[in-house]
Structure 1
Amino acid sequence: MDWAGWALFGIVATAALTATMISAQMAGLTRLDLPLVLGTIITEDPDKARVVGFFIHLTAGQGFALGYAAVFALLRRADWWIGGLLGALHVAIALTVLLPLLPGVHPRMASHRAGPASTATLEPPGLFALNYGVQTPAVTAVVHVIYGVVLGLLLQAR
């Protein structure tokens, strides 16, 4: 496996995924602002949170890219369709496990059990992040599958 390729391509794929998610949010396809959600774990200021959150997501994406590269290394092949399947698995875990658990650890996110006295500034994503819009699962799935496809193609080409 080309580990230098992983380092470069992981950042490229994650930056593209994050930019696409931000663009989808700005286009009104979803209300999920992932850099804001991640950044507000660290800071209350929404403008600073978006910058911090972008880098948190970039770091997490690099970790996931390492996982993808490890799977490709174990399989002794990197193909676009294997990357796409890994992207589908990745988004399934994110939408059904990671995002629904986030209110339990996020200091500025309400939970489904939060009452009217809650001072949380972010609403919980809910299962499949549906609280951020009905198109959110589809947008999120498409960009994560593309992330996997891109990693499969780029790591295959090396």
Structure 2
Amino acid sequence: MDWAGWAVFGLIATAALTAAMITAQLVGLTRLDLPLVLGTFLTGDPDRARVVGFVLHVGAGQGFALGYAAAFALVHRADWWIGALLGIVHVGIALTVLLPLLPGVHPRMASQRAGPASTAVLEPPGLFALNYGVQTPLVTAVVHVVYGVALGLLLHAR
């Protein structure tokens, strides 16, 4: 496996994915602000949370890029379509498992069951993160598939 490529291209693909998600949020395609969601695990200040969350997301993306690289090595090939399939699996798990479970562990996120006394500052994402807008699943899926395609094109299995 091209481990140096994983380190460089994983970072590039992750930064691009994160920037695309932030841009989609800023232009109104989704209300999902992933850096804010991740950063508020550690700080209640929204401006600092976005910076901390960006760093956390890039770090997590590097971890996922390592997983993609390992999958490419396992099948002895790295192709755009394998990357796209991995991106679909990745976003499927994120939207159906990880984000819906987040209110159970996030200290500043409400749950679907939180009553009016809740002091949470973030609303729960819900299934497919639909609470952040009807276009959120599509936007999230597209950027994750592009992430996988980019890694499939840039990484080389040996």
Give the AA of the match of 2:153: L
User: Paired residue for 1:154?
Assistant: 154
Q: CA deviation at 1:119?
A: 0.3
User: Paired residue for 2:84?
Assistant: 84
Q: CA deviation at 1:156?
A: 3.3
Which aligned pairs between 1:104-143 and structure 2 lie closer than 5 A? 104-143=104-143
- Counterpart Cα distance in 2 of 1:10 and 1:58: 9
Q: Percent identity?
A: 82
User: Paired residue for 2:68?
Assistant: 68
- Counterpart Cα distance in 1 of 2:48 and 2:30: 21
Aligned residues: 158
User: Paired residue for 1:53?
Assistant: 53
User: Paired residue for 2:145?
Assistant: 145
* CA distance 1:157–1:72, shift in 2 (3 Å): closer
* Consecutive unaligned residues in structure 1, runs of 5 or more: none
Report the TM-score, using the length of structure 2 for normalisation.
0.98
Q: CA deviation at 1:138?
A: 0.1
- Counterpart Cα distance in 1 of 2:56 and 2:104: 18
- Counterpart Cα distance in 1 of 2:142 and 2:113: 30
Q: CA deviation at 1:149?
A: 0.1
Give the AA of the match of 2:118: S
User: Paired residue for 1:15?
Assistant: 15
Give the AA of the match of 1:54: F
User: Aligned to 1:24, what secondary structure does the other structure show?
Assistant: helix
- Counterpart Cα distance in 1 of 2:156 and 2:139: 26
C-alpha RMSD of matched pairs (Å): 1.1
Q: CA deviation at 1:97?
A: 0.2
User: Aligned to 1:82, what secondary structure does the other structure show?
Assistant: helix
Give the AA of the match of 1:117: A
User: Aligned to 1:156, what secondary structure does the other structure show?
Assistant: coil
- Counterpart Cα distance in 1 of 2:62 and 2:101: 21
- Counterpart Cα distance in 2 of 1:118 and 1:153: 46
User: Aligned to 1:120, what secondary structure does the other structure show?
Assistant: coil
- Counterpart Cα distance in 2 of 1:122 and 1:39: 12
- Counterpart Cα distance in 1 of 2:102 and 2:26: 23
Residues 86-145 of structure 1 show CA distances to partners (whole Å, capped at 9, x for unaligned) of: 000000000000000000000000000000000000000000000000000000000000
